[in-house]
Every structure is written in structure tokens, then in C-alpha cells.
Structure 1
Amino acid sequence: MGISIEEMNNMQLDVLKEIGNIGAGNAATALAKMVNRKIDMNVPKVEVLEFKEVTELLGGAEIPVCGIYFDVDGDLTGNIMFLLTMKSSRILANMLLYKEDNSEILDEIDQSALQEIGNILSGAYISSLTALTGLNLKISIPSLSLDMAGAILSVPIIQYGQVGDKVLLIETEFNEGDDNIKGYFFLVPDVDSFEILLKSLGVLE
């Protein structure tokens, strides 16, 4: 049986938080290249939260959000989810598609653009993790869902039940001009993956 996030000590959590910081920086760089604009990034907040707290952070279970979901495979297995508010989703879609649209309705082209952005940003995080750990990791083609926060989070909650009820969440804010984009990454690991990750980082014997 592997280690769960509840069992990690402060040093182990600090190492994971530093990976979150590095990954967020790489994601900001990747996003800037993708949209060909200057993207500023606030220092990311990396926290260990219960799933119900993630829902509260987003504004409640009934708040509509955009969820982009990936399987992680290789030396670690699990899932990554990237969550965006509908406002942030619209700003990102507009940036990539070079349009001005204030509608909260995201059509198929908008959704395709968001999937590609999610792919680039999650790829930046995974690349950071691979570089720091030496582990071989790859992510699946993203799946996108537009639904209430509670419904979208119910999928990882069910999968994560065997490991624990807490999750490592990276809250990242990107700024382009007057536009502010807030995204939430979290890793949903399979039962043995935290132990493998911590050993590869040298903070678990």
C-alpha cells in the first residue's frame, strides 16, 4: 500500500509545492508562445485541500465550470484535471481564436481551442515533473466537460476514494493586459504513485 497525501510530512509537501511553482512558470511560458502575447503570472498557490474545499474554492457545487481531464500513464499513473471558471474559459478561447466574444456559451470551436490550451498547459506541468524526477510520464488526449463544479468533481472523487479525500491543488493566475485567467490544476494519483514520486525526488526512503 502506498503513501497517501494525508501521510506526507512538511518537507515532502514543500517539494511537491515547488514542482507546482516550476510547472506553473513553464505553463505561463507555453501559453504566451501559443497565443503570441505577453503573459504575466502571479505566484501560484499550492495547497492540500479536501475535495469539498475545491468545490467551495470554485464558488460552490452549482457553479458552471470547464473541466479538462487527462489520464497520466508511465512510471506514475493517475489523472490530471484542469478546471476553469466560465469567464476564464471565454477569455482563453478568445485569446487563441483572436476574437471578441462576451457570451458565456462556448461553441464547438471554443471548446476545441480550450482542449488544445489544456493540452499545452498540462504538458508543461508533466514536462517539469519529468525533468525533475527522471520518470517517464505521458498524458492522454484531453476530454473536456462543461458542467456544474460538483458534477465534474464527482469523477475524480470516486476514483480517488481508495487513496484519500485530500488532493494537491495548484491555483494559477495568468494575466494578459486587463484580462485575468484563473485555473486550477490537480493531480489525482493512483494508490502507489505518491510513493514512487517522493522516492524519485529523494524525500522518501
Structure 2
Amino acid sequence: MRRLQVDPVTLDALREFGNIGAGHAATALSTLLGGRVKMSVTDARLCPFSEIVDVVGGGETIVAAVFIRIFGTISGNMFVLMSLPSADRLLERLLERLLPAPRKAQEYTELEQSAIAEVGNILSGAYVAAISDLCGISLNQSIPAVAIDMAAALLDIGLMMSGDEENQAILISTSLVHDGNNIDAYFFLLPDLDGTEVLLDILRGKIRHG
């Protein structure tokens, strides 16, 4: 797959997409967590799928991952990744109790994993809505699946599904602040086939024409 050109218009389009998604997510998470949520985009760019593990701290880093399949005008895979400290801070707010730390991946309960899946579902839904709003296309998403494991093991699944390690994902890195707690989350969108180029062409057009 040829590398897509990343020019100033493309970067503006990705930032706009990220900011709109973060706005949707902050509103939804404010209701879920109770109280004001401030959510900002710290990075928005194209990232080769083979390099995602470096973004989250390396292949052996244990992360909480939520996987969602999107389908409609554009189909593809979405991942929401959080470090375990960020996931635990989030869980403490949702479950209203302190959690032991550090913990091993297998020590996360079914309730805790369900809570992480719900947050991932909200975050992914926010970005699906952002794509729909910006591009004027219809998209739906699957029920979220959650796993806690090494980043390399989790992302190998996505790589197998994409079929091309040079495929480029849209990366949106976010920082969420609620009640003094900072929670970092990484959102990756990997459209099928030439979907990334199609999506970027639509976004560029929207940016150019206001």
C-alpha cells in the first residue's frame, strides 16, 4: 500500500476530526462520570499500523484495549487503548472505590472490563459521530470487545484483520481530565482497503470549503 501524503490540509482535517470527536466524548463522559469532563487532543496524525505499539509505550506494555468494528459507507476497525494506570483511574471514578495497584491483566474483574468496554464504546461512538458530522456519511458500530494484554499481542489481531502491516491508521491521542484526575487514551481508526484515503479526501474537501 502506498503511503498517503500528509500535507497541512490533511493535518488540519485530522485535528478538526479529533476536536469534534473529543467534544462529543467529553459531553457523553460528563454524564457517565458525573461532573465536568475536559478532553483535549494531544496528537492527530497518520500512523503506520506497525508503529502503533511504539505510540503506547512498546510491544510489551500491558494496555486495556477496546475493539469496535465500523460499517456503512466506510468500513474498518477501531481501537481505544489506555495504559493500566489510566484505566484504573477511570474505574475508580466509575465504581466509586479505590483499586489495588499494580495489578496483573488477569486480575481485572468482569465488572471492571465491562466498565472499560462502556467507556471505549462512548469514545468510539463520539468519533463515529464526528466522521458522520464532518463527512455526511452513514456509519454504525459493533458491540465493543475488551481485552487486557500486551500491546503487541492485541494489535497483532488488528494487523491480521487489515492484512497489511504498512496500512496507515488515523491516530487521535487524547487527554481527559475529570475531578483532578488525568486519563490518557489513544484512538486508532483503520479503515478497510482504500478507506483511509477516501475518508481523508472527504475531510480535506470539508476543510477547504468550510
| Fold match by TM threshold 0.5 | yes
Query: Shift of residue 37 of structure 1?
Result: 2.0
Q: Counterpart of 1:61 in structure 2: which amino acid?
A: G
Instruction: Measure the CA separation in 2 of the matches of 1:132 and 1:107.
Output: 38
SS of 2:36 mapped into structure 1 = coil
Asked if 1:95 corresponds to 2:110, the answer is no
Q: Aligned residue for 2:112?
A: 110
3-state SS, counterpart of residue 35 of structure 2: coil
Contact 1:21 1:44 in 2 (8 A): no
Match of 1:171 in 2: 173
1:171 and 1:158 map into 2 onto residues whose CA distance is 23
Structure 1 residues 49-58 or 126-135, which shifts more? Answer: 49-58
- Residues 115 and 180 of structure 1, relative CA distance in 2, 3 Å threshold: same
Q: Provide the residue aligned with 1:36 in structure 2.
A: 34
Q: In 1, Cα distance between the equivalents of 2:84 and 2:20?
A: 26
Runs of 5+ unmatched residues, structure 1? none
- TM-score, L = length of structure 2: 0.86
Q: Deviations over 1:6-29 (max 9, x none)?
A: 245431342123101210121122
For 2:12, the aligned partner's letter is D
Give the superposition deviation at 1:185: 0.1
Give the whole-Å Cα distance in 2 for the aligned partners of 1:29 and 1:44: 18
**1:64 corresponding residue in structure 2:** 62
Query: 1:160 corresponds to which residue?
Result: 162
Contact 1:133–1:201 (CA<8 Å) still a contact in 2? Answer: yes
2:74 is paired with a residue whose SS is coil
Alpha-carbon deviations, 1:67-122, whole Å to 9, x = none? 10000001110011000101111111221122221343321100011111111111
Spell out the pairing of 1:1-205 with structure 2 (5 A cutoff). Answer: 6-103=4-101, 104=103, 105-162=107-164, 164-201=166-203, 203=205
1:165-194 residue CA offsets vs partner (Å, 9 max, x unmatched) = 432211101112332100000101111323
User: Cα distance 1:50–1:197, how it changes in 2: closer, same or farther (>3 A)?
Assistant: closer
> What is the RMSD computed on CA atoms of the aligned residues?
2.2
The alpha-carbon distance between structure 1 residues 202 and 18, as it changes in their structure 2 partners (threshold 3 A), is closer
Any runs of at least 4 consecutive aligned residues in structure 1 with deviations exceeding 6 A, and if so which? Answer: none
Q: Quick one: percent identity of the two aligned structures?
A: 36
Aligned residues: 202
Instruction: Please say if residues 13 and 204 of structure 2, whose CA atoms lie closer than 8 Å, have aligned partners that are also in contact.
Output: no
Distance in 1 (alpha carbons) for counterparts of 2:86 and 2:156: 22
State the distance in 2 between where 1:57 and 1:199 align: 25
* 1:134-190 C-alpha deviation (Å, 9 max, x unpaired): 100011000011110111111222233448343221110111233210000010111
Taking the aligned partners of 1:65 and 1:115, their CA distance within structure 2 comes to 13
TM value normalised by structure 1? 0.88
Which one-letter code corresponds to 1:182 in the other structure?
Answer: D
